[in-house]
Amino acid sequence: MQPSPPGASTDRRSLLRLLGLGAAATVGATTLAGCSKEAGSRGSATKADAIRSVLPTHKPAELLKPDIPGEGPIPDGYLSYPRTLVDAVTEQPGRGGPPIRTMSPWWGPAPPTVGRNSYLAAVNARLGVEVDPSLQDGTTYADKLNAMLGARDVPELLSAPNWEVDKVARFSDAVRALFEDLTEHLKGDAAAKYPYLAALPTGAWEYSVWGGRLYAVPFPTDGPFAYALFHRADLLARAGLTAPKSPEELHELGRQVTDPAKGVWAFGSVFEMVQQFFGCQQTWRRKPDGGLEHKFENPAFAAALEFTAKLFADGLVHPDTVASKGADEKQLFKAGKILMYQDGLGAWQGMQGERVKELPSFDMQPLPVFGAAGAQPVIWGSEKPVFYTFVRKGLGAERVDELLRVLNWCAAPFGSREFELREYGVEGRHFTRSADGSPVPTELGRKELGAQYTHIGGRVPVKVRSGDTPDYVRDYLGYYQKNIALMEKDLFAGIKLELPANWSKIIQPTDDKIRDILRGRRPVGDLAQVRKEFLAAGGEEGRAFHEKALADNGR
Amino acid sequence: MSAPVTAGAVDAPAATGQDPSAGRTPPVRVRRRRRDRLRRDWPLLAMTAPAAALLLVFHYLPTLGNVIAFQDYNPFVGDDPVEAFWHSEWIGFGNFEALFGDPLFWDAVRNTLTITAFQLVFFFPLPILLAVLLNSLVSARLRGFVQSVVYLPHFFSWVLVVTFFVQMLGGAGLLAQEMREAGMRPFDVMTNPDTFIVLVTAEAVWKDIGWGAIVFLAALAAIDPNLYEAAAADGAGRWRRLWHITLPGLRPVIVLLLIMRLGDALSVGFEQFILQREAVGREAAEVLDTFVYHQAISTQQWGLGAAAGLFKAVVGLVLILTANKVAHRLGEQGVYAKS
């Protein structure tokens, strides 16, 4: 789980010294006001204009015509694996420099390290420089990252997931202190030197700017939606039911399929998706007068809250979801114990491919998006990259160039030999080819590959059809194309926000109160009270901060 | 006096302080010279040195980091991690003010103390009972088996323990499904805020009762069996022997552990509560450690977290000293001997 709070372990002797201080502190705030100041940041925001001027010039690098062309943040889709591959990089990226230490996250058993890993050996031979990756468990990545940054001991290439970066205190200070400013290497046309980095979408680069300078290479998302509401289409079809088209139908469907005696409930977690069905914003929305409206002030939120609280009250939500944060909804969903739950779209292909081997009829699909009566649904999302790759500060321009050339190799697009080697390893060793030409990983491939090069290099995301999930690419891209127009534009896209401490502090207590209402521990009518407390304790400060950030950026 | 400057001499004060036999050796009448003592004790000092060094490096040194309780700590100012301490802004008691001015903090403290008090009554005595019970088993084999079974859950993580309880007692758990099949309406103990304190105590008992019994079993083994035989010969029954021999024999250990538990009054665990928070809500499940996690760690206010840690440690120290004093008054030895 999480680390214990700092300062929790103390010893007797130092405490004796501090005892006097502690006692003094309890005397009363008034006597101390003279000698103390408030801690915590007041927040800051980087300007978007400054961001635009440092971005690389976007130059698409498409080796193969996609079967389903992507649009904006939607990736390209390919329905077959190419029979002939091309060489994307002709000049060896390595300049014979010393080994490159990297660190990136991996969710799975750790592959063997350099020297005992034939995949790494094969790729390093092509690179002309030794990359020595250190893979860390993705679920506890923040612990390692925090310690590393605190000790200021970072590898030459460091991949950090966006959600972990958000957890690191004063990350912009860390960036300036520890990482190389890549602006001069990649700004504007300079990026043409690294064509596959220049091919990464501009929307992803926008987020890689701290303090007006370009500090990271992004790993773009393969789909900007935050959630989908997955349902078991196979089980609904077998029961002769069809997908609901309104909240009322959703509730009715829940009532029909819930059967506690069989251990089946309709829903896992759904609240975030319900908010979107009711047309509620993720956090802020622009009001006609130009100011910002928080979602608590939107009647749609109250309606979504009331609707979801009713699902709980009527016993349509699985008791494990009600009882514990650790409820494994994926497991319940796979076993048919719940028929619907919300998850990131990234969960789709893996689960479908895994489960269909045991249960050929298994079919998970995102529920078609619908709106409440008279309301237009929205979809939450952004083009925020999944990972950022940082380069250690102070390596010298030549070495930085070598590292960027390596990253450029790692970003080679679909249809190239480099892509295949990076994603699947060496043919005959790490993968075999199926009848349709697509690679199938071998035991060794599964053991030795851990996205060692993929997670640091960015790559333009694509969706490629695979044998075990034949319909996935069409379904996935179809869902995006159908709903992309509903995606609410991120008002703050490209603006790096460091939120005020009072705002961060009010999130959890407010979340607790909303949850109390959801679970029926407080009446729905209490929302007005919750909203008032929220706005008073930091919500208004947060609004002013966000409004100012927009105003400063001329938005 | 010319004290020899050696590694051993430097370590000596810390090392002898750690030596548990130091207090028990009979007072030496003739004051030996330090050099003689060093010559005599150097193997002991050498043996203690690694432990003392560990303590110094991993406990005493990090303790200095508590200065951030008085800072708006920023780990990235200055040129290296040590400089970050000097360059972070000093804000006096700002962190403590924020902490003590927060009603949520006092809610958490109140919850924590309530749970501690409840568990002192309903959890603390149970390992003693279990130990006495196990000790009365004649078959050493059976005793070993039962002991293994009851102390193994100690090694389960809280995630497992909570999942186990959910699977057994939750709304879709074994009990609920059995009751449904029998046509009864299942009750759900996992999501009731009013009985949450009973639930967490039951979980703690299930997890740790066997582990807690180990030290009492050791103490029981140290009681002279002749006492029992003599008492039995004098006609003392089972209960009299328990009351007059077993419990007095355990008393020093009980008092010691009670004092230690009091010193930990503001810690009742973290994962157990964060895992079940959504099920029962903040009002029931917020304890000091989860408060610090949500309000200081998640919001990246390290100074505030350090302030809460200091508060906890100070309260713990005061409680330990007080409890120890009371123990001395009552004629017990307590955690450390009266000086």
pLDDT digits (tens, 9 = 90+) for A39-72: 666 777 766 667 788 999 999 888 889 999 888 7
Cβ separation of A39 and B303 shorter than 8 Å?
A: yes
Ranges of chain B whose pLDDT falls below 50: 1-23
Tell me which of B280, B299, B315, B335 to substitute to probe the interface with A (most A C-beta atoms closer than 10 Å): B299
A27 touches chain B (CB under 8 A): no
Which contacts qualify for A242-245: CB closer than 8 Å, 24 or more apart?
A243/A367, A243/A368, A244/A367, A244/A370, A245/A368, A245/A370
Rounded to whole angstroms, the Cα distance separating B43 from B56 reads 20
Among A18, A29, A512, select the one facing B310 at the smallest CB separation.
A18
Ordered by start, the domain boundaries in chain B are 7-17+32-70, 94-329
**Residue in B with minimal Cα distance to A29:** B97
Per DSSP, the three-state class of A387 is strand
CA pair distance A467, A20, nearest whole angstrom: 70
Residue B7 pLDDT: 39
Which residue among A18, A320, A521 places its CB closest to the CB of B172? A320
Amino acid at B138: V
The alpha carbon of residue B282 is apart from the nearest alpha carbon of chain A, in Å, by 6
CB A161 within 8 A of CB A374: no
- Please tell me the distance from the alpha carbon of residue B164 to that of residue B151, in angstroms, as a whole number: 16
Q: Which residues contact B21 (CB under 8 A, 6 or more apart)?
A: none
A261: number of Cβ within 10 Å = 9
Q: What is the pLDDT of residue B124?
A: 93
Count Cβ–Cβ pairs < 8 Å, chain A vs chain B: 233
Six-digit token pair at A548?
């100012």
Phi-psi region of A369 (alpha: psi -120 to 50; beta: other; left: phi over 0): beta
The b-or-e profile of A97-110 (16+ CB within 10 A means b, else e) is: beebbbbbbbeeee
Which chain A residues are within 8 Å of B190, Cβ to Cβ?
319, 322-324
Q: SS3 breakdown of chain A: % helix, strand, coil, rounded to 5?
A: 45, 15, 40
CATH of domain B94-329: 1.10.3720.10
Of A187, A190, A90, give the one whose Cα is nearest residue A418: A90
Sign of CA dihedral A366, A370, A375, A377: positive
In terms of Cβ atoms closer than 10 Å to its own Cβ (0-12, 13-18, 19+), residue B77 is middle
Q: Which of B310, B312, B318 to mutate to test the interface with A (most CBs of A within 10 A)?
A: B310
- Please judge whether B80 and A519 are an interchain contact, meaning their C-beta atoms are less than 8 angstroms apart: no
A contacts of B307 (beta carbons < 8 Å): 7
Burial class (CB in 10 A: 0-12, 13-18, 19+), B236: middle
Rounded to 5 degrees, what are φ and ψ at B336? -135, 155
Closest to A222 (Cα-Cα) out of A356, A70, A85: A70
By C-alpha distance, which of B218, B204, B213 is closest to B149?
Answer: B213
Instruction: Read off the pLDDT of each residue in A142-149 and give the average, rounded to a whole number.
Output: 83
Q: Is A17 on the interface with B (CB under 8 A)?
A: no
Is A327–B166 a contact, with Cβ atoms under 8 angstroms apart? yes
Q: Do A5 and B308 touch (CB under 8 A)?
A: yes
Q: How many Cα atoms are found within 13 Å in the side-chain-facing hemisphere of A188?
A: 4
Per-residue model confidence as pLDDT tens digits over B289-299: 999 988 887 77
Q: What is the pLDDT of residue A159?
A: 96
Let me know: does B116 contact A210? Beta carbons within 8 Å: no
Question: How many angstroms away from the CA of A148 is the closest CA of chain B?
Answer: 11
Enter the tokens of residue A245. Answer: 């088209």
Percent of chain A with pLDDT over 70: 90
- For residue B294, give the nearest of A15, A318, A508 by CB distance: A508
DSSP B262-309: HHTTT---SHHHHHHHHHH-HHHH--HHHHHIIIIITTT-HHHHHHHH
Report residue B294: phi and psi, to 5°: -75, -40
Instruction: State whether residue A194 is helix, strand or coil.
Output: coil
Q: Which amino acid is at A142?
A: A
Q: To the nearest whole angstrom, how far is the Cα of B234 from the nearest Cα of chain A?
A: 48
The percent of residues above 90 in pLDDT, for chain A, comes to 61
Residue A113 pLDDT class (50, 70, 90 cuts) = very high
Angle at A518 between CA A516 and CA A524, to 5 degrees: 85
Q: How far is residue A188's CA from residue A295's CA, in Å, rounded to a whole number? A: 38
A391 pLDDT exceeds 50?
yes
Looking at the partner chain, which of A18, A26, A167 has a beta carbon nearest the beta carbon of B100? A26
What domains does chain A contain, in order, with CATH numbers? 48-88+95-222+384-486 (3.40.190.10), 228-380 (3.40.190.10)
Which residues of chain B lie closer than 8 angstroms to A262, CB-CB? none
Q: Which residues of A touch B289 (CB under 8 A)?
A: 4-5, 8
Between CA A58 and CA B143 the distance in angstroms is 73
Tell me the three-class secondary structure of A274-319, residue by residue.
Answer: HHHHCCCCCCEEECCCCCEEEHHHCHHHHHHHHHHHHHHHCCCECH
Cβ–Cβ below 8 Å for A7 and B305: yes
In B20-135 the beta strands, taken as DSSP E runs, fall at 71-72, 89-90
pLDDT score of A28: 36
Q: Is 70 exceeded by the pLDDT of residue A1?
A: no
Best of A31, A171, A329, A512 to substitute, by most chain B Cβ atoms within 10 angstroms, is A512
Q: What is the mean pLDDT of chain A?
A: 87
User: What pLDDT is attached to residue B24?
Assistant: 52
| Cβ within 8 Å, pair A176-B91 | no
A32 vs B162: CB contact, 8 Å cut-off? no
Backbone angles phi, psi at A385, to 5 degrees: -65, 160
A209 to chain B, closest Cα gap in Å: 18
Which residue from B101, B309, B313 is facing A29, i.e. has the nearest CB?
A: B101
Both tokens assigned to A143: 């612990």
- The number of angstroms, rounded, from the C-alpha of A23 to the middle of its chain's C-alpha atoms is 45
pTM: 0.79
CB contact under 8 A, A509 and B282: yes
In the DSSP assignment, the letter for residue A488 is P
The Cα A54–Cα B189 span in angstroms is 57
From B68, B93, B302, residue closest to A25, measured CB to CB: B93
Cβ contact A462:A66 at 8 Å? yes
Is B301 close to A7, i.e. CB distance below 8 A?
no
Does B66 contact A10 at a Cβ distance shorter than 8 Å? yes
Q: Which of residues 300-359 of A touch B (CB under 8 A)?
A: 318-320, 322-327, 337
In terms of Cα–Cα distance, which of A409, A389, A387 is closest to A61?
Answer: A409
The band of A422, judged by pLDDT with boundaries at 50, 70 and 90, is very high
| Res A428 pLDDT > 80 | yes
- Residues of chain A contacting B297 with CB distance shorter than 8 Å: 2-3, 5
- B52's CB contacts (< 8 A; 6+ apart) are B11, B14, B15, B18
User: Look-up: residue for tokens 């094969």?
Assistant: A122
How far apart (Å, rounded) are the C-alpha atoms in residues B106 and A154? 40
Q: What's the maximum distance between 2 C-alpha atoms anywhere in chain A?
A: 80
- Beta-bridge partners for B72: B89
Q: CA B111 to CA A298: how far, in whole Å?
A: 34
Instruction: State the burial class of residue A51 (Cβ atoms within 10 Å of its Cβ: 0-12, 13-18, 19+).
Output: buried
| A168 confidence band (pLDDT: 50, 70, 90) | confident
CB-CB under 8 Å, A22 with B81 = no
Are residues B271 and A1, on separate chains, in Cβ contact within 8 Å?
yes
CB A168 within 8 A of CB A146: yes
A521 and B281 in contact by Cβ < 8 A?
A: yes
